[in-house]
Amino acid sequence: MPKQDIAVVVLAAGKGTRMKSKLHKVLHAIGGQPMLHHLLASVESLSPAKTVIVVGAEREQVEAAVADCEIVTQSEQLGTGHAVMMTSEALETYSGDVLVLYGDVPFIPTSLMRDMIAAKAETENTGLVVLGFRPYDPAKYGRLVTAADGSLERIVEYKDASEAERAITLCNSGMMLIEGDKLFTWLDRLSNKNAAGEYYLTDLVEVARKDGRTVAVVEAREEDVMGINSREDLANAEAAFQTRKRRAAMAAGVTLIDPATVYFSHDTKLGSDITIEPSVFFGPGVTIEDGATIKAYSHLEGVRVRAGAAIGPFARLRPGADIGEGAKIGNFVEVKKAKLEAGVKVSHLSYIGDAYIGADANIGAGTITCNYDGFLKFETHIGAGAFIGSNSALVAPVKIGDGALVAAGSVITEDVSADALAVARGRQAEKQGFAKEFREQQASKKAAQAAKKGK
């Protein structure tokens, strides 16, 4: 589609009171990404000439979160029609059609937007296209009053509707496509003489009809136009998002043993023939390559797990972890900002941070890279094929050479040469018979004390 055909206006000036939050409603996250970004990602596929976001309070928050969009302020929330009027300057030099969306309706697919564009193009006389839907519970949505030919006569807000109108099941999603060169002349004709005292965008239907234009309806599925007003709605949206992600993962060749317990981010990248065990959480920025296994109760964020690697159970992979092909990260292991080459094993109870580990190195249980001195971070470099004995502390900055051995329980503060053995712990001593003598001595002391008390 050529760029100049469509402009998108996203309404986001509502107060969002029911969220009870300092964060702007449209910035609350779903799948680790603000809901607004879910919407803008679908909008982007249309390549609009312009995207304008109408905000009220917390303009700075929205400004900081988006690029490539113009932001305009509606300082008083006088209704959805009034909100669109606020874009008159931003759209001054633009005359193509305008698609109005809601910032708190994040899952509307691009295909529906295209359906609306196609519906408008069907006859030249169509001046407006409204996106309707038939909700399970029509509640307080505006109702679409249609003519015998299926075209739209008017939208009546619930507050203003008669009993007969409230019985209509076809509802207004709020989204519409409006003939661009008519938009602002039509908006000028809106009045606020209604139950809410607001300028209703929905009244454009009657205005357009008075201008001799027809209004078409495109019907959406309820899940595609689900709006978010409360934390409960947010949780429902998250659930819907996760269901889609899980289905997509399985369709792409990923085994989820218990899909309902696996949580993905908007950008989780999965290869094929991956197995994900129950209760795994993927924060943003995770890539899992073919054939990897993520075992139960693992938490991953900002990491790459290469082909055939096995993670967990109970592993925590933090940003900057890069786990090599066929490598193994076991239980209660935390890895942060560390590159592990192919075949590395960190099987139990370790912290690996700010580190490089060469191919096939084996890191014993309880090994800690001491990367922080309270002020600065330092790197630990472990060579290929090195073996780090259990319960070792590697005090960074430090380098362990290729093929070196570090004895268990060592505190390594100096570099270790390739193929060397480093032992950095107290030497073991033995005193023959000491334990036995000690027991006898203490037992007789205790007996003497008891005898004294008894007197």
Residues that are catalytic:
348
Q: How far apart are CA 132 and CA 388, in angstroms?
A: 64
227 near ligand UD1 (CB under 6 A): yes
Residues binding ligand UD1: what is the number (CB under 6 A)?
27
Q: Which is nearer to ligand UD1, 58 or 301 (CB)?
A: 58
Site for ligand UD1 in 84-123 (CB under 6 A): 102-104
Q: What is the 3-state secondary structure (H, E, C) of the chain?
A: CCHHHEEEEEEECCCCHHHCCCCCHHHCEECCEEHHHHHHHHHHCCCCCEEEEEECCCHHHHHHHCCCCEEEECCCCCCHHHHHHCCCCCCCCCCCEEEEEECCCCCCCHHHHHHHHHHHHHCCCEEEEEEEECCCCCCCCCEEEECCCCCEEEEECHHHCCHHHHCCCCEEEEEEEECCCCHHHHHHCCCCCCCCCCCCHHHHHHHHHHCCCEEEEEEECHHHHCCCCCHHHHHHHHHHHHHHHHHHHHHCCEEECCHHHEECCCCCEECCCEEECCCEEECCCCEECCCCEECCCCEECCCEECCCCEECCCCEECCCEEECCCCEEEECCEEEEEEECCCCEEEECCEEEEEEECCCCEECCCCEEECECCCCECCEEECCCCEECCCCEEECCEEECCCCEECCCCEECCCECCCCEECCCCCCCCCCCHHHHHHHHHHHHHHHHHHHHHC
Q: Single out the segment in contact with ligand UD1 by CB under 6 A; choices: 70-78, 176-184, 320-328, 340-348.
A: 70-78
157 near ligand UD1 (CB under 6 A): yes
Q: How far apart are CA 267 and CA 429, in angstroms?
A: 56
Say how many residues make up the chain: 455
Site for ligand UD1 in 393-452 (CB under 6 A): none
Q: Which of 6, 9, 12, 108 binds ligand UD1 (CB under 6 A)?
A: 12
Site for ligand UD1 in 239-258 (CB under 6 A): none
Q: Which residues pair with residue 335 across a beta bridge?
A: 317, 352
349 near ligand UD1 (CB under 6 A): no
| Backbone phi and psi for residue 327, each to the nearest 5 degrees, phi listed first | -70, 165
Min dist CB 21 to ligand UD1, Å, is 14
Min dist CB 196 to ligand UD1, Å, is 7
Q: Single out the segment in contact with ligand UD1 by CB under 6 A; choices: 80-88, 295-303, 351-359, 447-455.
A: 80-88
Q: Which is nearer to ligand UD1, 196 or 257 (CB)?
A: 196
Q: Output the residue with the shortest Cβ distance to ligand UD1.
A: 142
Min dist CB 33 to ligand UD1, Å, is 18
174 near ligand UD1 (CB under 6 A): yes
Q: Which is nearer to ligand UD1, 174 or 358 (CB)?
A: 174
141 near ligand UD1 (CB under 6 A): yes
82 near ligand UD1 (CB under 6 A): yes
Q: How far apart are CA 327 and CA 309, in angstroms?
A: 5
Q: Count CA atoms within 13 Å of residue 145 on its CB side.
A: 17
344 near ligand UD1 (CB under 6 A): no
Q: Which is nearer to ligand UD1, 62 or 382 (CB)?
A: 62
Are the C-beta atoms of residues 346 and 312 closer than 8 Å to each other?
no
28 near ligand UD1 (CB under 6 A): no
Min dist CB 221 to ligand UD1, Å, is 15
Q: Which of 87, 202, 265, 380 binds ligand UD1 (CB under 6 A)?
A: 202
Min dist CB 11 to ligand UD1, Å, is 4
Q: Which is nearer to ligand UD1, 74 or 367 (CB)?
A: 74
Min dist CB 172 to ligand UD1, Å, is 4
Q: Which of 27, 83, 323, 335 binds ligand UD1 (CB under 6 A)?
A: 83
Q: Which is nearer to ligand UD1, 102 or 263 (CB)?
A: 102
Q: Which is nearer to ligand UD1, 196 or 235 (CB)?
A: 196
Q: Which is nearer to ligand UD1, 201 or 329 (CB)?
A: 201
Q: Which of 14, 48, 127, 383 binds ligand UD1 (CB under 6 A)?
A: 14
Interface residues with ligand UD1 (CB under 6 A)? 11-14, 54, 74, 77-80, 82-83, 102-104, 141-142, 155, 157, 171-174, 200-202, 227
